Structures are given as structure tokens and as C-alpha cells.
A and B are shown apart, each in its own frame.
Chain A
Amino acid sequence: MMDENIAAIRVQGAQKTFKAPGRPLKVAVDDVSISVQPATIHGLLGPNGAGKTTTLKMLIGLVRPTAGVFEVLGLDSTRPGGRRELGFLPEQPYFPMNLTAIQAMRFYARLTGVPSRDIDDDSAALLSRVGLEDAARTELAKFSRGMLQRLGIAQALFGNPRVVILDEPASGLDPVGQRDVRNLMLELRSDGVTVLLSSHQLSEVEAVCDRVSIVNRGRLAAEGDINTLLNVSGKTSVRVAGLESLPDAALVLAEDIALTGGMLVFSIPTGATRAVVDAIDESGGTIVSVMPKRDSLEDYFSRLLAMTSREAMPS
């Protein structure tokens, strides 16, 4: 059993600088720390070139860190022995294209150490899990990008890893495929598997992640519970039906008023909620919902990146 006190993934003070003769030192990742609790889905967000993939590559030993501690289930994951409980889907997975799907799966099964007697059954089961059971004997050269992505996910799940790292898993997938991947991540979490998800698809991250780390310009810009990050402190969001305009008592307190789907949607100071609800009742409106105001992840992300980019600019 896993020690509950041990983070499933721990990155502490990660740093990577690239040196090239005749060029200035390039700091790709600077003091990034991430802690992922067991059986959670943790999102790693950031714009292109923010250092997400470099951080993941350091975590799985593909890139040598300049500094930092990288652990998976308490073991140093920069060493091969520390990656044996880890499944990894690289961004745009590449495979030997002259193999069929089942041949590729057998190869990865052997590398993972799946016993010979289980290789065929496990390969077939995983192909079926990602919806590729009918393409098992098709050459990978004939696979679409989405099918290769599914195969990448399947190979990452060999040996029932306790930690799975997915780099842009929905890339190249159609909406149904994206939904399947989301469901798969939720299934993995309910099976006790820890998932570290690096993604550009904010809707995907918002839908499945328990916590997120946001990286910008090689540094950690924010980390936390996704609800805490997105909730706007001191504001409440109200949806009202049956009114064309707000009564005066509510109008003076309301902000960001919008008419959506025949309903008025607006935010108010949380302390004024009682007064606003009473005013709407008296004017004959129907309160549809009252909840803490929440940013969309897109808005939060854009604002944070703008802020951290300004801070990083030389004065």
C-alpha cells in the first residue's frame, strides 16, 4: 500500500538551463515545484514554451535537470527504477510505423515487464479500452492522428501503473474521443491512479482536474485547488428568470449583467445577497441559482498570464 503521506508525484525546485556555444544561457524552467496527491488528477497548464513539457521530460528522465528533486511514489524518477510504476503519454506519440497496433502493444508490454502469458490478453484489453479493438491488425502507417493518440494512451496503461502522465492527451481527437479520454481519466482516478495532465484544453482541465499548476515563462505562476483558484472572493453569481430588467434595489448592486437564454445573469457583493433576492421576489422574478461567482478557467488563465508576463518584463 502507498504511504498516504507520500505525494504520488513530487517536483521540487526544478530547474533547466540550456547552454549552447555562442548563445546566451536559456533558462527553460526555473524553480518549479509541483506536488500531486495520490488518486487525484492534477493539471499542468501554460502557454507554448512555458516549460511544461521540459518539466515533464525531466520528471521521466528524458532531459537532465540542472537542479531539483523529481520523485514518483517516493522514488527518484530520473532513474529508470523510479519509473517502473509510471505510464507516460508523450505529446504527439510516435511509434514504429511499420508495426501493426497489436505488434506495437506487444513490444511495449514486453518492455513494461508484462508476463508472456498475459501479453496478448492485456494488449487486446487495452486496445479495446481505447476503442481500437477493430484496428489491432492494422499497420500504424494507416492510423489517423487520433488513432495514434489512442494507441499512445493504451501503451501508457500497461502494467497497471499507479501514476500516469498524459501530455496533451486530447490532441488530435474528435469531440467523442475527447470525451472518452476525459472519462478514462476519471475512471483512472476512481481506480486510485494518480494522473498528471498537461493540456492546452482548458475546458478539459476544468472538467476533470482536482488541482492545477500554471507555469509561465519557466516559472510557477499559480497552484491550487481549481475551485479556490476560480472562485471570485466576495462575489456571488445570480441567475434570474421571468424579468426583463432588474428592480432598482438590485440594479444598484449588480455588476456584469447579461441576458443569456432568457435569463438575467449578474454578480453582486456576497453580503448583499439577501437584499437582492428579496427585491427580485417582490418584483415577481424567479431565482434560478445563487452561487459563488466563478471565473472561467480561460479568463483566469489569460489574466494570470498577462500579470506574470508584466512582472517578468524588465522595467
Chain B
Amino acid sequence: MMSRIWPIGVAVITDSLRRKVVYVVLAFAAMLALAIPSLPDYGLGVEGAVFREVALALVYVTGLVIALSLAANRIPAEFERRTVYNVLAKGVSRWEYLVGTWLGIFCVMAGTIAAFTVVEQVVGVVTYGDPMWQLWQGSLAVLLEMGVVTAFAASVSTMAGPVVVVTATLAVVFAGHSRSTLVGGEGALALSPFYPSFDAFNVVNPVAHGSGVPMLYLLSMIVVFVGFVGLFLSVGVLILSRKDL
């Protein structure tokens, strides 16, 4: 099983690195990170918190751009160019193809987010003399959320083109962070437990302004990640298994 999933993932990683989009996004984000210290001055002791908050926001945007650019295009392009024929004819299951594609994009994102976090740490050390290790917790949360977003985008891309995928994914990201707005009022409060929320991945406050995220919370975040990814990829597999190529 992994012997078929992993080569598909590696192909996605290799292809992504050749396309240079990752480098462009990373370079742009790094430039922004370097510019954070030039933000207007805050009171003593607050600069580090502001830096961490903006840094996490940059990680988030970087992750989202990579997730959308890779997940929205990869599968529709493979269908259109028919490169998927050779893959599936080798006895690869459609679910293995989808999971392999997701895994490849997730690995690209993990590498990019890790590289970006290192850049932010370096800027933090140089500017504030603080390596800001808790940034890694924030980056992990972003990576997990982007893994979920990628799973959703990849699933939608099995039946729709890039424009629809990007629109639908941004809508889900917005909805995922709007539980309190959309069902927080008294009228819809009872729906709250069923609302598919990404709030579990929002650790900006403890990372930027607090003392980090407890280990138990990080573990529970991974459980939420696995649940969402499993759900979205299952739906994607269901759609893909019924598709005529």
C-alpha cells in the first residue's frame, strides 16, 4: 500500500519543487518576516509578542497559498493531461492516488513552513535575542490546519476545476473560523457542537502572548486533524471512485 502511495507523494514533491512556486512564496514571506521589526514601536516587552503574532499570520498565509496553488491544480491537471491513466493502470487504487497526492502536498507544506519558521527564529534571535521556540507550536497548528484545507481542496478537485476549488476552499476556511459569528447567537447555539470548526488550530494567543500550548492540547489537535483529513479524503475517494476518466 505505502509502496504505491509514497511514490505518488514523491512525484508531487519533486514536481512542486521544480515549479518554483514554493520558492517564490517562501522568498516573499521571508522578506515580510524581515520587515516585521520595522513595524511601529510598541511598549517594552510587547515587541516579541507582536512579532510572533505577525509571524504566525505570515506562516498561515504562506501555507494557504501553497495549499491552494498545489491542491487546486494538481489533480485536475493530471486528469486533463491523462497522466493519471498510466498511474491507475499500474494497479494503483484511486484512494491510494488521492492519499498519495495529499501526502505529497502536505510534505511540501511541512518543509516550507519549517523553513519559514527557521527564518522567523533567526530574525527573532537577531532582533530580540530570543529564539522564540513556541513559534514551532504555532507553525505545527498552521501545518495541521493546512493539511485539512489541502484534503478538502484535493477532494473538491476530483470533480471541479481550479477556480471552483479555490473558491470553495476559501469559503470553508472562512466558515471554519466563524463558528462564533455564524452559530454563536442564541438562535443557533444548539448547532454549535456539530459545526465543523477549525478553531482547534487557532493557537495564536498562547503562542504570541502566553507561554505556549500544553502537550495534551497539541495531541488533541492532532486528533482533530486526523478526523477532518479522514473525513474530507473519504468524501474525495467516494467522488473519485465514481468518476469516469
* Chain A residues proximal to chain B, CB less than 8 Å: 18, 57, 60-64, 80-81, 83-84, 86-88, 90, 92-96, 98-99, 103, 107-108, 110-113, 152, 155, 158
**In the complex, what's the smallest C-beta–C-beta distance from A72 to chain B, in angstroms?**
10
Q: B91 touching A81 by the CB < 8 A rule?
A: yes
Q: A155 touching B86 by the CB < 8 A rule?
A: yes
* Chain B residues proximal to chain A, CB less than 8 Å: 3-4, 6-8, 10-11, 14-15, 18, 81-83, 85-93, 96, 242, 244-245
Q: B89 touching A98 by the CB < 8 A rule?
A: no
Q: A98 touching B85 by the CB < 8 A rule?
A: no
**In the complex, what's the smallest C-beta–C-beta distance from B82 to chain A, in angstroms?**
5
Q: If the complex has contacts A62-B244, A155-B86, are A107 and B7 also in contact, measured as CB distance less than 8 A?
A: yes
Q: Per DSSP, are chain B's interface residues mostly helix, strand or loop, or mixed? A: helix
Q: If the complex has contacts A96-B11, A111-B4, A111-B7, are A61 and B88 also in contact, measured as CB distance less than 8 A?
A: yes
4 tightest Cβ-Cβ pairs between the two chains A and B: A88-B89, A110-B7, A84-B91, A111-B90
Max chain A CB contacts within 10 Å: which of B3, B11, B86, B87?
A: B86
Q: If the complex has contacts A62-B244, A63-B244, A111-B4, are A88 and B91 also in contact, measured as CB distance less than 8 A?
A: no
Q: Given the complex, which residues of A lie within 8 Å of B82, measured CB to CB?
A: 90, 92, 94
Residue of B nearest to A155 (CB): B86
Residue of A nearest to B6 (CB): A110
> Which of A92, A93, A99, A108 sits near B90, CB closer than 8 Å?
A108
Q: If the complex has contacts A94-B81, A94-B83, A95-B86, are A110 and B3 also in contact, measured as CB distance less than 8 A?
A: yes
> How distant is the Cα of A21 from the Cα of B96 in the complex, in angstroms?
31
Residue of A nearest to B19 (CB): A98
Q: B245 touching A63 by the CB < 8 A rule?
A: yes
Q: Given the complex, which residues of B lie within 8 Å of A87, measured CB to CB?
A: 89
**In the complex, what's the smallest C-beta–C-beta distance from B83 to chain A, in angstroms?**
5
Q: A93 touching B86 by the CB < 8 A rule?
A: yes
